[in-house]
Structure 1
Amino acid sequence: MKKTALITGATSGIGRATAYEFAKHGINLVLCGRRQERLEEIKKNLSQQTHVHILNFDVRDKEETLKAIASLPEAFNTIDILINNAGNAHGLDPIQDGSLEDWDAMMDINVKGLLYVSKAIIPDMTKRKSGHIINIGSSAGKEVYPKGNVYCGSKHAVLAITEGMRIDLNPFGIKVTAINPGLVETEFSQVRFKGGQQADNVYKGYKALQPEDVAEVIYFAVSRPSHVNIADVLMFCTAQANSSIVKKTD
């Protein structure tokens, strides 16, 4: 029986790479994102490998999220694997200069959005007594760095929620995993720095993790035998030692 995975934030970066990785292994896909055109393009590219259904919504909108997931056709409404990937970082300011809009965006997407999607999926998993939830955290959920304040707070919350989920869902045999990457070369920095040269410089002088590297680790976690749960992964590129130390060439 082929499994079905629901991936949030599937239109770029880690989410998109995970969709491609899962398709290679014949996992049916429910791809969620805010950019309809990109969703359609990915569906077109992957439909020869597996069955794909797309949902266009913003995880920040509670009603829209619950409605979209409730609308899944029968062929896609049994979600075996949930990848809570939608997330962002806005701004890199000391706390005293932080923007309330940036703070709202990070907490609404990284924390509340993850909870809304999980709330829509988990009851069916508990009923079936099976499932696997993977929350995409960050090394920022393991340590706090200068000007990381609220973003680090949101990712610490993701890790705490993940550990709480693992405890609460343990009686139902549901696996819960946190994958926490360091620097990954995606559109992430374009969003954080609001475009411009600063965003381009983030990945210069070293080889950052690529979205495909993270997707392979995600697939490794979901492909383990039923008695094995990869509970928590922290992954860096070789050049990165922690959140503030990166070996760059001149």
Structure 2
Amino acid sequence: MPNEITLSFGLPDGRLDLRAADLDHWAEHLAWCCTIMGIAPGATIGVIDFGTSPIAFLGSALLTPMLEAGLAERLRGRVICLDASRERVALVPSILKQVAFDALCVRAEAVPALITYCREAEQPLDGITIITTFGLERRDPVAAFPRGRRMALAEAGMLMAPECAVCGQMHLRHSHYDQTPDGGAVVARRGGALVALPADMAPDLAPGCPAGPEDWRIAIAGKDAP
């Protein structure tokens, strides 16, 4: 049965095994993440990440077998996946001259190269919402953009916590995650490993944000200029 099939994705620190039956559950969550970050329906989104990232393989039903509706289908827009290797990031400025992107979702490690190549090509990023995804274990300074958002991403635990356009904090969606009793870790309700949270990222429940009144929220530090 298709629902019993498990897809396995290689990660830098191990593997992610995800049931095919859960793909659309997480694609809906990714669409929710984009919406809470202020991405409008019909948007054209570029993904500068590796193919094993949920941001990439949940991008469209055209990319992943057994995914019925990915991010593109749910937002009624377009998702164009661009690799995060330095060689591929070097091509992004020329692609930006050809495609009008509303948003770029960029892996944090690729941000410095993106900034460098766009400056060299005199290709501005103004007018594009730049969503920087960053891991919890290694959190390098994240560059600030005129229209920037951030999203915490832990692939092995399917943790995707977007920066809210309303409250400015990252939301841990209450319907998708549970906290351990001590609040030091998070686990997805459907698939994914336990994700330990750094001490300075302890979720807070109150006061609630109107964009997600029941969500846990994580305050994030100020942004560094590129």
TM-score normalised over the length of structure 1? 0.39
- Structure with the larger strand share: 2
- Structure with the larger helix share: 1
TM-score normalised over the length of structure 2? 0.42
